Structure 1
Amino acid sequence: MPYYQMPGYPQALWQEMESDKDMQKLKEMYPDAAKEILPYIEEECDKMEYEGSVMFDEYPDRVMMGKIRNTIYDKVKDKYELPEDGDKDEVLAMNRETRRRYPPRKNWLGDMIDVLLFQEMHRRRCRHRNCRGWR
């Protein structure tokens, strides 16, 4: 029997360890693109993991989440082939030399970053809430 399952070990801590272990197993099954993006997500979340951070706001701000997503997107966009046509503004369509700086609304990479970012933030917010009682 592992030490953390021994009597007297705090149940909440044991459950958190089991949950983290389970999450790691599931992350191993992510598609390759998600596995490549995840370190960038974790890096940004590491930067935000402090008391009073936007990560721990009761209602995270959509604009702030968009800025974080765009930061990650700018770091990884060159690794992936993204569709050029389909979701361009009329002005951008007329001027071929100008490219949109941030991902278009229908963009699999931007959507994947959003999902991974929100999932990682949720995991850390839960851990933060549960751990505050132990400090």
Structure 2
Amino acid sequence: MNEKMPYYLAYPVPFSYDDERTERRDIEYLRSMYSDIPKRLLPYVEEECDRMEYENSMMYDQYPDKLQLKLMCRRICDNAGRHERLCAGGCEDRGEIGEQSLRDLVEVMLYQELYRRRCDHRRMHRRFY
């Protein structure tokens, strides 16, 4: 009953890197299950987020500006439209989607990516004082 406990058990330190690794693996796995069009759009969404990812960027504001987010979506759609054949008027049966559906999909994917990056940013800049 009088056994000494090892130091690392007496004062456990949360190993957050395991949680981050698990989260990243989950994200990658779920992204691998995307259908064709979201898989083709994802690099354009990530590219736009990479471009906007700098210190004091509007994407890290407490309440990001809706107009700026819409402009980001438009840039993603324009960029994807130059390089991919995704939109077609009334050709949904061939795997292509309409322009408004494409914008809605890009908007949802952008907000998801922004959420993930904001969480990572908060985690990296956590203050312990």
TM-score normalised according to structure 1 size? 0.72
Letter in 1 for 2:77: Y
Unaligned runs of 5+ in 1: 1-6, 85-102
How far the C-alpha of 1:10 sits from its partner, in A, is 5.0
**Partner Cα separation in structure 2 for residue 110 and residue 82 of structure 1:** 13
Q: Decide which moves more: 72-81 or 114-123.
A: 72-81
Residue of structure 1 equivalent to 2:107: 114
How far the C-alpha of 1:82 sits from its partner, in A, is 3.1
Residue of structure 1 equivalent to 2:22: 18
**Partner Cα separation in structure 1 for residue 49 and residue 65 of structure 2:** 15
Between 1 and 2, higher relative CO (CA 8 Å, sep ≥ 6) is seen in: 1
Residue of structure 2 equivalent to 1:83: 89
Letter in 2 for 1:123: R
Q: CA RMSD in A?
A: 2.3
User: Helix, strand or coil: the match of 2:89?
Assistant: coil
Q: Deviations over 1:65-99 (max 9, x none)?
A: 01000001111235123337xxxxxxxxxxxxxxx
Unaligned runs of 5+ in 2: 1-8, 91-97
How far the C-alpha of 1:9 sits from its partner, in A, is 7.6
**Partner Cα separation in structure 1 for residue 70 and residue 57 of structure 2:** 16
Aligned residues: 109
Letter in 2 for 1:34: P
**Partner Cα separation in structure 2 for residue 123 and residue 17 of structure 1:** 14
Question: Are the counterparts in 1 of residues 87 and 102 from structure 2 also a CA contact under 8 Å?
Answer: no
Bigger Rg over Cα: 2
Q: Deviations over 1:15-35 (max 9, x none)?
A: 111101110000000011000
Letter in 2 for 1:115: V
The answer to whether structure 1 residue 38 and structure 2 residue 42 are counterparts is: yes
**Partner Cα separation in structure 2 for residue 128 and residue 10 of structure 1:** 19
Residue of structure 2 equivalent to 1:87: none
**Partner Cα separation in structure 2 for residue 82 and residue 66 of structure 1:** 21
How far the C-alpha of 1:62 sits from its partner, in A, is 0.6
